Structure 1
């Protein structure tokens, strides 16, 4: 213990209060992680060492970044009586029949924000207009296509939907920027705060959906010119207007196109990069849907709404978020990015106060690790939650057997390595004709990955993330859809 006290000046001063709550072993592990963080070196290490770092960090996040909200009132049940997933998510957790089910509290990765800033500080529409609104379309090159984008959209909308209150809020754009806003004002319902009857986290939000993996639809996204480019199997390309694809009528239109044509079209389109000034313009005047899929009466500015929702729901702002993830916070804008244009824009909106920086803006402005489509901060949440979802789901653990999946189904899952294998099983002629890339999540006409004779455990980590970690997680999900 005396050794730890001797090393305490080594810890970033804004992280010392977090380390003080750790056990002796976890404190030791934190020192290892913190040392590597100060060197900014984990992603440049050989894979085996980088994997050890991520394993330690994941252990710490599991201990300190999985907070249960509300009481646990579920019961143990006989899993053999439920050999399939239920629509409301009950009887999915291995030992509790209600965890993760529809209408239960959403868990948290950290306590609600302690920020003293108001919900309109700075104004969400100012943030959206000056930092998020698209200036020109920026894609991911050949790295990811619209199938990858659709997968992410699917998860977000299918797993999480906060229960809304009956009270409406109206956001009006400030006069100085209103002329450039698609909507001068818009209305939406507040997020409903529900008492947890717990002394720790007194209020929480109920999930109107269930976060377990299940069969459902895949959402589609559009390019900047408000068209979805559809390529038929003879190679002819057409542009479908955005207004023909949204809402219930849009769903019907897409269903007539067919899976093969949709996959070819989405596979050949690069998705937008997660960066500032790249938020789709059409989403700033969007007719949103209610939980039943019906059009809402008031269009919304999604870019503005996302900033407001994070603040309303107690999501920590960027620096507080990093501290809660045991990451070194920034002290100036130059710590976040070396892009002078971005630094100037951040200064215009937030001044010199880095603590004001909204999480979404910070994640998109953050310097990205080579090969990563998301920021390091977002990746650490992915590291925690992606594995947690598997561990807590009995259909991937205790009930991952032939009795549940059938012998043939389990054989398919165990022999499938990539999404390309899944698609090829169902559309062999399509993949032969249209897909030259190695990963179905890359743009399909890109060149295949060249042979690499360096052992896996000696390769740079960012390549493993692109070609192994992300595809495997996607394959697990898609296999449950196409089996």
Structure 2
């Protein structure tokens, strides 16, 4: 267990070993938990000395996680600004258009009416650790050990061998990218490059390896010199900005003049596609890093938006197009948040405590059935009645997504090298296409060359496996990725560099700041895997403190049922609920008045299976027996003979 000591002044001292000397790192409490919350935290601390949370019975484990989340909120939320004045106020940023009392502003403003700029596009990423622990590295620290060498040793698939995640399907991999495109995007500095030294025998085909540096925000305070802030170009809210855009001007350009508030789609035979510009670029809120997985999910939720518009127009015939659009967006965004919470998360973290805990995040421990019948049984308790409607709360730190949150969502190993496509009705194999041939302007290749429908592509994603989130599982095409802006990148190298550049602590310090036990040896880190331990020791010059957070997370043993490490999971359980709890439109005004009776019912009674079946009826029969749409679907007879060969099994 971690060596921690709670202090009466609201700080925690974390013992830090450094050259056999002890240093005390003070983690300041951002708020004071209630008496009962403190009792719960202390009780589970004591229990976890003997039994870790994941070995407890399901409901007890879920309660353990609920109190762990309270402690994480208390010590691991930190503002990236020296002053909360950066969030604005009702004087500096007045709400001039009352429309946005009941609608999302595409810039992200006015979610919190007292801090109007909080979470909006252009605001800084926050931190899960104190800023003094996240300082900008020196040039030597940035390149030590060489990030390209780390990519070659621990990212590249050995002999091209793909390691599948057999409890998930490819739809789960596409979904998380679809969501992260809503949440975060750093700005690059076109005037500054990070140049990575290459060894003489490096197989990189370019003359050199470099990528644009992350552009720091202006220096607003002396503390910004040692720990620069970095802007999030996307809104940090769960507001569907990947579809609707992260500014009002973009949203207006994307919207059609449809009087029913719908998004434009181009018909091509029986299918509807997102519109393109003259250069073939898709017109949507966020079109970077585009491939067929983004093509189908963006289109699906554009279709869902339009279906919601139809339902609202039927029930509210006198409404303007803006009124219909605003409420349809609210409903669509809340539905995506719900799907992520109660479907995607339990698929990738398939542990009994998580199944219970994530359902409780939305419905509370009283459950879905009773909540639908009786509403909230507790006005404010998120444990009893769920986070939606429990009241928005910032826990002492203005809401933002964090640099560490971005770090733990580096999941490029989910991507396979190829995708086998099948016909949804017969199950017959249609074609197998390298993923790289479905990227950027080539994202419609499966439709154009094989005559596939959206239903066919979704069925194919449902039966293909993604990659496991572990060492040596980055696909080759992502380690030699040619992007439309002319860059050529090894995303393995880029992922390591980005964490270092932005001051994300390395693995041991990362765990220490989360009050997790810190391995003293490489063999302890790997759970006894001597071969991997030796490889890590060699790469990191026998200095375990240098192991990068991403590499360490990929190397540690995973909890049974988990798709990623417990180290990453600690950030996940903190920030996943924070995206809900901070939001006025989810934790706050969660009712029929805000969403309309039609819209509120739509969210509460829909899931991913309903969304797919609503727009592609031919998938309904296949999905009948599916308990989770992000787990492998049942194969049709025509597909089974390809299992283990074409579906990356």
TM-score with structure 2 length normalisation? 0.60
Three-state SS of the structure 2 residue aligned to 1:373 is: coil
Unaligned runs of 5+ in 1: 6-10, 289-294, 448-483
Aligned residue for 2:195? 171
Query: Given the superposition, is the C-alpha separation of residues 36 and 163 from structure 1 closer, same or farther in structure 2, using an over 3 Å criterion?
Result: farther
Aligned residue for 2:418? 227
CA distance in 2, matches of 1:399, 1:222: 38
CA distance in 1, matches of 2:179, 2:50: 34
CA distance in 1, matches of 2:562, 2:198: 36
C-alpha displacement at 1:325, in angstroms?
Answer: 1.0
From 125, 139, 148, give the equivalent of 1:106.
125
1:109-139 Cα deviation digits (max 9, x unpaired): 1134357761010000000001111121001
Aligned length: 431
Three-state SS of the structure 1 residue aligned to 2:112 is: coil
What is the 5 A alignment of 1:26-45? 32=43, 34-39=45-50, 41-45=52-56
CA distance in 1, matches of 2:45, 2:207: 46
2:283 paired with 1:283: no
Aligned residue for 2:289? none
Q: Is the 8 A contact 2:147 2:497 kept in 1?
A: yes
Query: Given the superposition, is the C-alpha separation of residues 31 and 323 from structure 1 closer, same or farther in structure 2, using an over 3 Å criterion?
Result: farther
C-alpha displacement at 1:34, in angstroms?
Answer: 4.6
2:103 paired with 1:81: no
What is the 5 A alignment of 1:282-361? 282-288=477-483, 295-337=484-526, 338-361=528-551
2:39 paired with 1:57: no
CA distance in 2, matches of 1:254, 1:185: 37
Q: Is the 8 A contact 2:511 2:517 kept in 1?
A: yes
Q: Is the 8 A contact 2:436 2:477 kept in 1?
A: no
Query: Given the superposition, is the C-alpha separation of residues 193 and 29 from structure 1 closer, same or farther in structure 2, using an over 3 Å criterion?
Result: farther
What is the 5 A alignment of 1:29-428? 32=43, 34-39=45-50, 41-70=52-81, 71-76=85-90, 77=95, 81-82=99-100, 83-93=102-112, 95-110=114-129, 111=131, 112-113=133-134, 118-135=141-158, 136-141=161-166, 143-175=167-199, 177-179=201-203, 181=204, 185-195=208-218, 197-198=220-221, 203-215=228-240, 216=242, 219=294, 226-233=417-424, 234-237=426-429, 238-250=431-443, 257-288=452-483, 295-337=484-526, 338-416=528-606, 418-428=607-617
Q: Is the 8 A contact 1:224 1:281 kept in 2?
A: no
Unaligned runs of 5+ in 2: 8-12, 18-22, 244-292, 296-411, 637-649
Q: Is the 8 A contact 2:146 2:196 kept in 1?
A: no
Query: Given the superposition, is the C-alpha separation of residues 130 and 122 from structure 1 closer, same or farther in structure 2, using an over 3 Å criterion?
Result: same
CA distance in 2, matches of 1:33, 1:212: 31
Query: Given the superposition, is the C-alpha separation of residues 101 and 235 from structure 1 closer, same or farther in structure 2, using an over 3 Å criterion?
Result: same
Q: Is the 8 A contact 1:126 1:177 kept in 2?
A: no
Query: Given the superposition, is the C-alpha separation of residues 330 and 33 from structure 1 closer, same or farther in structure 2, using an over 3 Å criterion?
Result: farther
C-alpha displacement at 1:209, in angstroms?
Answer: 1.3
Q: Which moved more, 1:13-22 or 1:332-341?
A: 13-22
C-alpha displacement at 1:413, in angstroms?
Answer: 1.5
Cα RMSD (Å): 3.2
Three-state SS of the structure 2 residue aligned to 1:187 is: strand
Aligned residue for 2:634? 445
Query: Given the superposition, is the C-alpha separation of residues 335 and 30 from structure 1 closer, same or farther in structure 2, using an over 3 Å criterion?
Result: farther
C-alpha displacement at 1:20, in angstroms?
Answer: 7.4
Query: Given the superposition, is the C-alpha separation of residues 170 and 105 from structure 1 closer, same or farther in structure 2, using an over 3 Å criterion?
Result: closer
Query: Given the superposition, is the C-alpha separation of residues 84 and 260 from structure 1 closer, same or farther in structure 2, using an over 3 Å criterion?
Result: farther
Q: Is the 8 A contact 2:609 2:623 kept in 1?
A: no
From 2, 14, 17, give the equivalent of 2:24.
17
Q: Which moved more, 1:434-443 or 1:369-378?
A: 434-443
